[in-house]
Structure formats: C-alpha cells, structure tokens
Amino acid sequence: MASLLEAIGGVHRGTGGRLLEGFLKRCLPEAVSYRRAAGFFSSSAFTAASVEFADFFGRGGRMELVCSPVVSGPDLRAIHDGLYHPRRWLGRSLHDIARSSGGRRGAELLSWAVARRQVEVRIALIVGGNPRAIYHEKIGLFGLDDGGAVAFEGSANESASAYADNFERVLVHESPRPGGTGWADGVARSFERLWANETPGLTVLTFHEALRRRVLRPRGEPMSGESEEFTPDGEPAPEAPPETLRLPARFGLRDYQEQAIARWFENKGRGVLAMATGTGKTVTALAAAEAVFSRAGAPLVVIVVAPYLHLVRQWVGVAKGFGLDPLNCSGPRASWTGAVDAALYLVSAGKRPILSLVTTNATFADAAFQSVLARLTVRTLLIADEVHNLGARALQAKLPDRVALRLGLSATPERHRDEDGSRAIRDYFGEVVFELDLAQAMQLKPPVLTPYTYHPVLVALDADEREEYLRITKQLAKSMFAPKAEDLSDATMALLLKRSRLVACARNKLPALAAAIAPFRATRFNLVYCGDGRSELEGVADAASGGVPESNVVRQVEAVASLLGSRLGMNVGVYTAETPDADRQVLLRDFEAGNKNALIAIRCLDEGIDIPQVRRAFILASSTNPRQFVQRRGRVLRRAEGKESAEIYDFLVAPPLDSVTEGTAEYRVLRNLVSREMERVVEFARLAENGPQAHARLLPILSALKLMHL
C-alpha cells in the first residue's frame, strides 16, 4: 500500500487521459475492492479501462457503486439484464467479453459483473428540496490486498469522459485507519453511511427497489462535457419484477452454512437442518433458495411456514434483504387470497420469475391455503421453520405431495414422546442432512453465540405442597412402572400434570426470584419464564387434563408481575398467549429499546423469536421436553452489541428425599421423575462457563438418588 500511495498520492488534475492513465489504471491492478460514489456512472468507464477492469473482476474484485438516479438507457438495460437474467451471463467468459466491440464491451462487462454479484449499484435520492436536485458528490476507496485502502475525492464522475476527456481533479491522500480521524477516514465513514442509508438528506435504495419505485431517469449518453442536468431521452426505465432473489450485499455465509446447503442439494433438495438457535437457520434457508434460483432459474415459488405470527414477521423482514417481498398469508383469508391468486397466475404463466409466500401453521392447514398448494404448477420450495411442529397429526395430512423441494429447520427436530410425529417429518422432509448442536456452535470462531453462566437455585416445598407432592408420588407408584412408557393411562397422565403444575408454581419460588433478581432491578433486558400449566407435559389427553386447575399458573404470572413491578419498582411487561398481537409488538419494541427492565413470559417466547438483547433469563418453570429448554436457553445466547456474556437462573424444586425410603416404589418413581428434570440441569451446567460450580450445587440431590452418572 505504501508504494502505491507514494506513486499516486497527492493531486491528479488535467485532461487528455491524465486521470485515466495516472490514477485509475494504476489503482485497479492492486485493488481487491472498489467503493465508489459519484453523481453519474457510465459503463464507458469499463470500456476506457477494459483490460484493468477485466483483470480486477477476474481476480474476484467487487465494486460497490452509489450514484444519482440519472443513468443511461443502455446501462439501465445492462444492469437490468444482470440482475434479472443472470443465467445469460454466468456462462460467458471475460475473454469473450473482451473481444466484444468497443461500444458494447463496457455494458457487457457491467451485465456480467452484476450477474456474478461483483458489481452492486445503489441509487441516492435527495430527500425534499428542489425536485431537480440530484446527488452529485464524488468519493472513492480502493481496497487493497493487505487490508489497507486508497481514498480519494474530487470532481470526476465514474465515466470515460471524466477520466479521459474532461479537465478534472482528484485528490489522493492517506490511507484510512480503524478509528482514525484523518481526511481519508472521513471518506471511508461517508461511504459506509451512504451504503447503509444513514446519510442525512439522502435516501439510498437498492437498484431493484429504485426500479420498483420508478425513480430512475434514463438519459442518452453524455457529451464529453458532462453537465449536472441531463434531459431524459424519453425511453422509460425497464420494468422490475415484484421480487428478485439475490444474496444481500456484503453477505457472507459461514463455512458450516455452506456445508448445510451443500448437504441439502446432495440429498436432491430434501432434508432437515438441525442447527442450534442463533446459528442462522433463516439466512441459510434463504441462501439455499437463492442457490435453487441461480441454478434452475425462473419460475420459482418459495413458501415459508412458521408456527407463530411473530416468526412470520421476522421471515418477511429477513427475506426483504434478499430482494423478496413475500405475501403475508397469515391474516384473514380475504386480506391475501386475491393478491396470491393474481401472483400465482403470473408466475404460472411465466410473467413473474419468483413468488414468495409466508404463512403460519394454522393458515397453512386451512382450506384457502391448501387450495393455493393444489394449484401449484411450477417449481416450488417449501421451507418449514420449527419443522417439528408439522409432525402434529392435524398437520401431517396437509403437507403437499406435489412440492418436490423440501427444507425443514429446527434446533430440535425430534418430537418429544411422539415417534409417529417424528417419523412423519422424516418421511416427508427427509432425514437430518446437517447438524450443528449447541456445544459445536459455542466453539465457532468468530463466535456466533454468547458465553453464559448458569445458576441453579434450589427451592424447598412448603408443608402443604410437600404433603401433596408425596401423595401424588404414592399414587403414581401404584399406576405406572416408568414415566417413559408410551401407554400411560389418562389417570396417570393427569397425575403427572398435577405434579408438574405443583412444581412449576411452588410458592417459595417467588421469594427466591426476589432475592435473585433484586441486584438487577435497575438493569434492562431481563426475561422471566413462568410455568405454563397447559403445556408442561406433552401428550396429555383432554380427558386426562379435565378438572386439573390452572389457577395456580395464572396466579404465578400475576404474582411475578406484582413482585417485580410493585415491590421491586421495575418496569415490566407481561407477554402471554392472551396478549393481543398488537400489544405483543409494542412490548417487544419497548423491551428491545431498553424501555422495560423485564419481560415476563410463559411459552410463546420459546420458539424462534429473535430478541438478542436478553442478558439474563430467570426460569421459574420448564418442562422435561428437551426442545423447550434448548429453545429457552437459545433466547439468551444470541449475540448483541455490547453483550459480552449472559446469565441463566434456573429455579428447581428440591424433592422431599427424607420422606421416601430407598428401594420402595415411591423412591423409584421419584428417582425416575427427578432424573428427567436433572438431565436439563446437567446439560445447562455442562456448557456454562461456571459449569463445575453449578454442577457442585446439585451433587447432594444426585448422590441421594444415585444419579451421579448424569
């Protein structure tokens, strides 16, 4: 970098190709990236330095360009062709393009580079002010192989006339430095703000969005003396399809994500990705969809099915970064069926290259959406988020046989205590083709998850609860041999549910919570999980759960809200299944903005929701279902700016061991039940930074019940 700066540093000014030969052609051979902002861009710059640009792109160089909406008609068509018809160019070689006639060479090189994602164009619009005003600054940075850069600014646009004909001035100075405050650092920061659409007075759009909004102003090729004002040539800008599908700018898949996609393709477009929470299942799936589109071309229908509304919204948001604009089919059928019918006709007729739909499991199973599936006639990819949910009997029959490409996503694809449902998932989506568990994810470099400490908090039952606990244990000893038996009676399941609710809502958990959370009463980003009596035990038949009161569960949520809000003076929100959807969105926004000290939840925050700001989780109750505790731990391990570590406080009921005699049926039942609960605790401790200390707190219980093997 020093030698290049020494050779070209300072002022370049003049005409007759001085900037072309003395500046542009000397920088490109040493550059690996080119970030450029200019009022006007023309592919004639590629023609003027065709050898150097071809070498730059041939070495994998990437160019990021921000310019005004005034673009020549040929360049509009060239970018349009590269964006929406990339397969036309993926087979072309740079050698072929270099042999094109001079008039076509620059435009063809532009299409080729856009198709290969080596040129990304964004359009800067003036916000308010004179409607004839345009973005007109000129700055740039050549990124070098050693990590340095050459920054410049001046009067020259990015065109042949600017570099070869006009009398222009370019100033090249120092190299930007991380955290630096010099002139070059200001150029680098200015470009980054432009690219991120963070420049006051400007709106910066992707080229696709600029075409969709019809803000581009085509013009004829400029004369050598470029002016700030050009008269449009009367030719309208080409049409943009409603959706495209491209990897986002500067997007890079991790090695394991590329491996997951490769395994799915090797399995002929079927399979399940069992990836730990926070490892990027959503972007991996969308990148797989983009790979399908790149390889097979249009038309393509992408359908995403997610269990909850908040996950649908998350998918829509992430998908827009890939150029998609999914139709949200999760509301009343009248709000989406008309748009879907029209779009489905266009994609089936070959008039629309891609169509994406996102819906909930419930709407997916409804007759209206099933009708959409029945009318599919083009290549379709079905992406199932939290795919284990689709193993439910009511959903199995709704999975469309006519969809050939199937991708399931879940941190825990196996259904707890439901082998038939798990088999149905495997039969439809295929086997797990890639697995990345939490232990592996915690070791990734650079890290994708936050390290955590684990604090098991042992809570004793009060006298009444202890008596009830022992009574239930004795009844269970008479009605069951082992808690994992698949043929438990409804009466036994009801007893297990009663025991689960008793443990979940033990009265002494509240003072224990008060003691644990009090030091953090003034902090933000705390999440408290209460028990959900309706779901602590999966597979409970309606008849078995009848007559089992849920009032304790309701009281626990209310009691926790009162404890934190009234007694500790914390600003809290309650997020349950009964919370209206609009209120949920407000609660999450307030929590993410740091306006709430804590969020109190039951089960509806378990799956998929992305709230990486969570620093501490206080788990008052959790089922023995591995999926639930894996998901809950995942909520607190997502990375966020300024988040160096996380904490989990897990409130556990200490069983009344002194009242049960070793060797009796009651002892065996108690041992089996506690064993299932301790598996979660030992797993949490195993990956925690303070694992040995956390495990030591559990040794008395494990020793008394002869569970040291855990």
| Segment 365-381, tens digit of pLDDT | 999 999 999 999 999 99
pLDDT, residue 627, reads 59
Distance CA 249, CA 357 (A): 23
Burial of 236 (C-beta count, 10 Å sphere; 0-12/13-18/19+): exposed
In terms of DSSP H, where are the helices of 563-622? 581-592
Mean pLDDT in residue range 681-709 = 84
226 φ/ψ sector (left φ>0, alpha ψ -120 to 50, else beta): beta
DSSP 30: G
Q: Matching CATH topology for 255-442 and 452-670+679-704?
A: yes
Asked if 621 and 510 touch (Cβ cutoff 8 Å), the reply is: no
- Given pLDDT bands bounded at 50, 70 and 90, which one contains residue 345? very high
The alpha carbon torsion through 499, 503, 507, 508 (nearest 10 deg) reads: 140
Comparing 164-178, 185-199, 332-346, the range with the smallest average pLDDT is 164-178
In percent, the amount of the chain with pLDDT more than 90 equals: 57
Asked if 69 and 217 touch (Cβ cutoff 8 Å), the reply is: yes
Angle between helices 309-320 and 581-592 (to 10 degrees): 60
Asked if 533 and 584 touch (Cβ cutoff 8 Å), the reply is: no
Give domain 2-219's CATH architecture: 2-Layer Sandwich (3.30)
Distance CA 574, CA 584 (A): 9
Distance CA 571, CA 317 (A): 29
Mean pLDDT in residue range 311-319 = 94
Asked if 597 and 524 touch (Cβ cutoff 8 Å), the reply is: yes
pLDDT, residue 624, reads 60
Q: What's the pTM value of the predicted model, to 2 decimals?
A: 0.85
For residue 315, give the amino acid letter: W
pLDDT of 85 strictly over 50? yes
For residue 503, give the amino acid letter: V
Distance CA 671, CA 663 (A): 10
pLDDT, residue 97, reads 86
Asked if 479 and 492 touch (Cβ cutoff 8 Å), the reply is: yes
- Given pLDDT bands bounded at 50, 70 and 90, which one contains residue 609? low
Phi, psi of 358 (to 5 degrees): -130, 135
Question: Considering the chain, what is the average pLDDT of its residues?
Answer: 86
Give the model confidence (pLDDT) of 420-454 as tens digits. 999 999 999 999 999 999 899 999 999 999 999 99
pLDDT of 559 strictly over 70? yes
- Given pLDDT bands bounded at 50, 70 and 90, which one contains residue 583? confident
Does 633 or 486 have the greater pLDDT score?
A: 633
The CATH topology of domain 255-442 is: Rossmann fold (3.40.50)
Burial of 645 (C-beta count, 10 Å sphere; 0-12/13-18/19+): exposed
- Rounded to a whole number of angstroms, the distance between the first and last alpha carbons of the chain is 58
pLDDT of 278 strictly over 90? no
- Given pLDDT bands bounded at 50, 70 and 90, which one contains residue 710? low
pLDDT, residue 206, reads 95
Q: Max Cα separation, the chain?
A: 100
Distance CA 541, CA 348 (A): 44
pLDDT of 611 strictly over 70? yes
Comparing 177-191, 194-208, 246-260, 434-448, the range with the smallest average pLDDT is 177-191
pLDDT, residue 549, reads 44
- Given pLDDT bands bounded at 50, 70 and 90, which one contains residue 481? low
Domain ranges of the chain: 2-219, 255-442, 452-670+679-704
Mean pLDDT in residue range 560-568 = 93
Domain 452-670+679-704 has CATH 2.60.40.420: no
pLDDT, residue 595, reads 93
Give the model confidence (pLDDT) of 13-36 as tens digits. 899 888 999 999 999 999 999 999
pLDDT of 199 strictly over 90? yes
pLDDT, residue 542, reads 37
